[in-house]
Amino acid sequence: MIPKEEILKALGEVKHPGMEDRSILELGMVDGIEQEEGKISVTLAFPRKPDPLKNYLTGAVKASLYRAVPGGTEIEVRTIVREAPKPKAPELTLDELRNVRHIIGIASGKGGVGKSTVAVNLAIALARQGFRVGLADADIYGPSVPLMTGTVGAVLPAEQQDGKEIIIPAEKYGVKWVSIGYFADPSQALIWRGPMACGALKQMILQVRWGELDYLLIDMPPGTGDIHISLLQEIPMEGAVIVTTPQKVALADVEKGVDMFRNKNINRPVFGLVENMAWFTPAEHPDEKYYIFGKDGGAEMAKHFDIPLLARIPLVKSICEGGDSGVPPALGSGPDGEAFLQLAAQLAARMG
Ligand SMILES: Nc1ncnc2c1ncn2[C@@H]1O[C@H](COP(=O)(O)OP(=O)(O)O)[C@@H](O)[C@H]1O
Ligand SMILES: [Mg+2]
């Protein structure tokens, strides 16, 4: 009998040229070694059928063993196909949401209407009114929560629990924040597509130590595509708040948003509409209102879809600056912050 170490040593010398010249042992390709008097059988496992190097590798194994063992020993190399075990994705459960009272999607028919601005300021305004609040920024196309809350680059720790990683949210301004932006470089977020994006998003909402919350807001990606439907099917959102600007052309976008929630497979209520950029007020003339996108657009839309108009948020420089500086206006007591506090009060009154 030939000592096993010698056989292993000979096998360790066989490198796979298609796998950065790592040895077949290291690659886990040696499935079995058997010995009987005068004969050694080695079984090589290949991950997929047409490995172009199969013949080369069986030959190389034979040659290496022939060199290592006494002359006259018969060498047999068998091959089998063994699929590499796929890493099993941990089962996502709703466990972490069990102490969350209301999960509300903040949606818009299209981007740039101020959905994130409203979501972030609404979260802070609800927290200022004594509610326990979390916000998950699920906008894979442009996660803006890190910038808007001054938490860019935050590293969220994770805890292992029953073989799952549970993310600990960032906390600032009395709100728990999680953003896809903490996990991916914003330039890479754009290449996320379909199932990959959905999986990451669900994990980012479901596997978070939210604890006890009155409100969990979900800043949804703009638009009304497959990702939205999938999110709505798997995250138990109670309903939605839709953000729009007052222009007549925005009506079609709002309609898409409303339809998405009301369609028969989803069937969730739209709790209300937020009219953002309802009018422009210059900083130096706080009493003046310029209806640059038209007057009462939001009220008309709300009537058209039979949903309440929860708030009208003015277009003011401080809101834009607050977004860029990471200090949202809902923290302050100016008229801009007041608009968000009123929105929070309106929503809370409806949700009970
Ligand atoms: N009411 C407002 N007044 C001034 N600027 C605003 C207002 N709402 C949004 N903005 C600015 O408009 C831009 C787009 O807003 P954002 O919330 O990121 O939109 P969305 O999430 O819908 O894409 C941001 O720069 C934001 O600061
Ligand atoms: Mg946004």
Strand partners, 112: none
Residue 132 host element (H or E): none
The secondary structure of residue 222, as a DSSP letter, is S
CA distance 118 to 106: 8
Q: How far is the CA of 290 from the centre of ligand 2 (A)?
A: 25
Sort 284 into a burial class: Cβ within 10 Å, 0-12 / 13-18 / 19+.
Answer: exposed
Average pLDDT, the chain: 90
Query: Which tokens belong to 3?
Result: 């000592």
Instruction: Answer whether 92's CB lies under 8 Å from 202's CB.
Output: yes
Q: How far is the CA of 23 from the centre of ligand 2 (A)?
A: 49
Going by C-alpha positions, the residue among 214, 84, 96 that lies closest to residue 165 is 96
Residue 187's pLDDT band (cuts 50, 70, 90): low
Decide if pLDDT at 33 tops 90.
yes
**Rounded average pLDDT over 312-319:** 94
**Number of the ligand 1 atom closest to the C-alpha atom of 139:** 21
What is the structure's pLDDT at 116?
Answer: 96
140: Cβ–Cβ under 8 A, 6 or more apart, which residues? Answer: 180, 189, 190, 192, 197, 200, 201, 221, 227
Instruction: Check pLDDT > 60 for residue 319.
Output: yes
CA distances from 219 to 10, 12, 103, 179 (A): 58, 53, 11, 9
Report, as an integer, the average pLDDT of 231-253: 93
Ligand 2: distance of its center to the CA of 231 in Å? 16
Calculate how far, in angstroms, residue 263's C-alpha sits from the geometric centre of ligand 1. 28
pLDDT of amino acid 254 = 94
The C-alpha atoms of residue 197 and residue 228 are separated, in whole angstroms, by: 11
The ligand minimizing its distance to the Cα of 110 is 1
The proportion of the chain whose per-residue pLDDT surpasses 70, expressed as a percent, equals 94
Q: Which residue has the higher pLDDT, 117 or 195?
A: 117
Report the interhelical angle of 250-262 vs 297-305 (nearest 10°).
30
pLDDT of 190 higher than 50 = no
pLDDT for residue 352: 82
Which amino acid residue places its CA nearest to atom 16 of ligand 1?
114
Does 197 have pLDDT greater than 80? Answer: no
Q: Which atom of ligand 1 is nearest to the CA of 324?
A: 27
Q: Write out residues with Cβ below 6 Å of ligand 1.
A: 108, 111-117, 144, 222, 276-277, 313, 315-316, 319-320, 323
**Closest atom, ligand 1, to C-alpha of 314:** 1
The Cα 344–Cα 266 span in angstroms is 25
Nearest to 218 by CA among 203, 200, 237, 199: 237
Pocket test for ligand 1, best of 320, 340, 342 (most atoms within 8 A of CB): 320
343: nearest Cα among 105, 121, 112 = 121
Kindly report the protein residue whose alpha carbon is nearest to atom 17 of ligand 1.
114
Is the pLDDT at 293 greater than 70? The verdict is yes
Mutate to test the pocket of ligand 1, among 106, 113, 115, 117 (most ligand atoms within 8 A of CB): 117
Cα dist from 257 to 55, 252, 334, 340, whole Å: 58, 9, 31, 22
**Model confidence pLDDT, tens digit, residues 106-153:** 999 888 999 999 999 999 999 999 999 999 999 877 889 999 999 998
Answer yes or no: is pLDDT of 87 > 70.
Answer: no
Nearest ligand atom owner, CA of 337: 1
State how far Cα 334 lies from the chain centre: 34
pLDDT of amino acid 318? 92
**φ/ψ of residue 157, rounded to 5:** -70, 160
Instruction: Calculate how far, in angstroms, residue 295's C-alpha sits from the geometric centre of ligand 2.
Output: 24
DSSP assignment letter at 307? -
For residue 191, pLDDT beyond 50: no
* Measured distance CA(21)–CA(225) in Å, rounded: 45
Distances (CA, A) of 227 to 141, 197, 332: 11, 8, 35
Region 294-309: mean pLDDT is 94
Q: Could you write out the DSSP letters of every residue in 66-116?
A: HHHS-TT-EEEEEEEE-PPPPPPPPPP-SGGGTTEEEEEEEE-SSTTSSHH
pLDDT of residue 162 exceeding 90: no
Give the mean pLDDT of 270-288.
Answer: 93
Go through the domains of the chain in sequence order and give each one's CATH number.
4-81 (3.30.300.130), 95-351 (3.40.50.300)
The predicted structure's pLDDT at residue 189: 46
Per-residue pLDDT averaged across 228-246, rounded?
A: 93
Residue 148 Cα: closest atom of ligand 1: 27
Q: Does residue 86 or residue 249 have the better pLDDT?
A: 249
CA-closest residue to ligand 1 atom 12: 114
| Residues pairing with 169 in the sheet | none
From ligand 1's centre to the CA of 317, what distance in Å? 10
Is the pLDDT at 92 greater than 70? The verdict is yes
